[in-house]
Amino acid sequence: MTAPEPTDPASLADARRRDRDRDNERNTELLAAELPAARYIDARYLQWLYDDNPYGPAIQRSVDDDDGVRIGHYALIPQRFRGRDGIVPAAFSLHAVVRSGGQRKGLFTDMGLEIYEEAGAAGWQLTTGVCNEKSIGAVVKYMGWKWPGPLPVRLVAPYAMAGSEARRVISRTVDADYLASADFEQLVAGLDAFPVQQWTNHYTAEYLRWRLACPATTYAIHVTDELVAITSTDVRFGVRAVAVLKLLPRDGRTGLRAEAIVSAACRFHKAPYAVYAGFNPHVSLRGVQPPRKLQPSPLNLIIRSLSSAIDQGPLMIDTFEFLDMDAY
Kindly tell me if the per-residue pLDDT of 3 is higher than 60.
Answer: no
For the segment 285-308, the average pLDDT, to the nearest whole number, is 86
- The DSSP secondary-structure symbol of 167 reads T
Task: Give the sign of the dihedral formed by CA 43, CA 322, CA 277, CA 321.
Answer: positive
Residue 15 identity:
A
**pLDDT tens-digit profile of 203-250?**
999 999 999 999 999 999 999 999 999 999 999 778 999 999 999 999
Beta bridge partners of 75: 60, 94
Highest mean pLDDT among 102-106, 119-123, 297-301: 119-123
* CB contact at 8 A, 204 and 233: no
Q: Where do the structural domains in the chain lie, given as residue ranges?
A: 153-296
Its CATH architecture, for the domain 153-296, is 3-Layer(aba) Sandwich (3.40)
Of the candidates 80, 309, 300, which has an alpha carbon nearest to the alpha carbon of residue 196? 80
Give dist(CA 40, CA 34) in Å, integer.
Answer: 10
**Spatial CB neighbours of 51, under 8 Å, sequence gap ≥ 6:** 20, 24, 57, 58
Beta bridge partners of 73: 62, 97
* CB contact at 8 A, 39 and 48: no
Tell me the whole-structure pTM to 2 decimals.
Answer: 0.93
**pLDDT tens-digit profile of 152-190?**
999 999 998 777 777 899 999 999 999 999 999 999 999
For the segment 8-18, the average pLDDT, to the nearest whole number, is 72
* CB contact at 8 A, 58 and 77: yes
- A 10 A CB-CB count for 165 gives 14
Give dist(CA 328, CA 172) in Å, integer.
Answer: 18
